[in-house]
Amino acid sequence: MAIVVLLGAAGAAPAAAPAKEPKPEVVSPQNPESEVETLWKSEAARTECLNALTTDAAGPEPVVCTQGAAAKLPRGTSIRTLPSSATCGALKAVKVVSGKSAGKTGCLSSAAIRSEGARKTPQ
C-alpha cells in the first residue's frame, strides 16, 4: 500500500512578513546656528579633529578640519541609519539618501539625527 502526500497551499510555508521600511530620518545640526553637520569618515577622524581644535585654539588662525570629513550635510538632508559599525564606534553609521552627497556613508552624532517631521526641542 502506497501513501501519497499532496502539498498545496495548506502545506506551504507561510509567507514572510514584508520588511518594515526604516523611518525617514534627517540631519538636524546640533548647533542651532549652523545649517550643516559634518559626516565623518570614522569616529577616530572626528576625535582627531576635535583634539586638533582644542590643541590649536590659542593659535592666530582658526583651525578647520576637513581631512576626516566625508561630507558637509545641510539641515534636512535625508539619511538612513545603518547597522552599528566598529568604524563609527559611539557615532551612528548612516547612508545619505538625498542631496549632492547621496550615496555616501559615514558617521554622525545621534544628536544630529531626527525622525523626519519631528521637531527638535531646544536645549
2 domain-assigned: no
10 domain-assigned: no
| Residue bearing the bigger pLDDT, 78 or 63 | 78
8 domain-assigned: no
Give the pLDDT mean for 101-107. 96
6 domain-assigned: no
At 103, which CATH number? 2.30.30
Please provide the DSSP assignment of 45-112 as one string: HHHHHHHHHHHTTTSSS-----TTEEEEEETT-EEEE----TTTTTSEEEEE-SSTTTT-EEEE-GGG
C-alpha cell at 84: 552599528
Q: Which range of residues forms the domain containing residue 48? A: 23-56+63-115
84 domain-assigned: yes
102 domain-assigned: yes
Task: Look over the chain and give the mean of its residue pLDDT values, rounded to a whole number.
Answer: 78
- The pLDDT, as a whole number, for residue 103 is 96
| Residue bearing the bigger pLDDT, 66 or 113 | 113
Per-residue pLDDT for 90 more than 90?
A: yes
Per-residue pLDDT for 22 more than 70?
A: no
- The pLDDT, as a whole number, for residue 31 is 81
- The pLDDT, as a whole number, for residue 85 is 93
Give how many domains the chain has, as a whole number: 1
pLDDT in tens, 29-59: 888 888 899 999 999 999 988 887 766 556 6
Give the pLDDT mean for 56-65. 62
Per-residue pLDDT for 5 more than 50?
A: no
C-alpha cell at 12: 506551504
17 domain-assigned: no
Please provide the DSSP assignment of 34-48 as one string: -SEEEEES-HHHHHH
5 domain-assigned: no
User: Which phi and psi (to 5°) does residue 40 adopt?
Assistant: -90, 150
pTM for the model: 0.70
> Phi-psi region for residue 117, left (φ > 0), alpha (ψ -120 to 50) or beta?
left
